[in-house]
């Protein structure tokens, strides 16, 4: 019988914490808790690296007009997973509340083109680095 998983308790001991395309799947009311706990894992001078979906990403645009909106900018996919689309201000507010200072915070935008079909997709992510 497998052992139950225990929560990782690296309070103040991590050099870095990577929050990569996962916070968007967390319920909106729990997102601040996740960032706060991530910040607590960092040692003095440690860095939180963040990247997730940005407001008006093509995935959000595709959701519009469908019956899958749970809340403002928060949607459920057909497989049952959720997606929230962040602004840089929202990320900054959560990280600041967690006691972190910004080093980098911006949108990354990319136009991706399928070479075979010519279909264009405009992607937008929030990228951040906090200490």
99: which residues sit within 8 A by CB, 6+ positions away?
39
In angstroms, the Cα distances linking 120 to 57, 58, 110, 112, 113 are: 13, 10, 10, 6, 4
Domains and CATH numbers, the chain: 15-39+46-130 (3.40.50.150)
Alpha helices in 41-109 (DSSP H): 58-63, 88-97
Query: Which 8-state DSSP code applies to residue 54?
Result: B
pTM of the model: 0.87
For residue 125, give the H/E element and its range: strand 120-130
Task: Pick the more confident residue, 45 or 7.
Answer: 45
Tens digits of residue pLDDT in 38-60: 999 999 999 999 999 999 999 99
State residue 8's pLDDT score.
55
- Read off the pLDDT of residues 68-80 as tens digits, 9 standing for 90 and up: 899 999 999 989 9
User: Which candidate, 16, 17, 78, 90, places its Cα nearest to that of 53?
Assistant: 90
In this structure, how many other beta carbons lie within 10 angstroms of the beta carbon of residue 80?
A: 6
Q: Please give the pLDDT value at position 23.
A: 98
pLDDT at 31 over 70: yes
Asked whether the predicted pLDDT for residue 9 surpasses 90, the reply is no
Question: What is the rounded distance in angstroms from the CA atom of residue 128 to the CA atom of residue 96?
Answer: 12
């Amino acid at each position: 019988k497998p052992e139950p998983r225990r929560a990782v308790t690296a309070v103040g001991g991590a050099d870095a914490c990577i929050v990569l395309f996962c916070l968007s799947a967390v319920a909106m009311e729990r997102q601040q808790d996740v960032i706060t706990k991530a910040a607590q894992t960092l040692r003095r001078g440690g860095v939180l690296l963040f990247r997730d979906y940005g407001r008006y990403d093509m995935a959000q645009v595709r959701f519009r007009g469908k019956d899958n909106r749970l809340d403002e900018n928060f949607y459920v996919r057909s497989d049952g997973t959720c997606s929230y689309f962040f602004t840089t201000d929202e990320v900054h507010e959560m990280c600041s509340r967690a006691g972190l200072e910004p080093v980098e915070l911006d949108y990354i935008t990319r136009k991706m083109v399928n070479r075979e079909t010519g279909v264009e997709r405009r992607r937008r992510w929030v990228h951040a680095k906090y200490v």
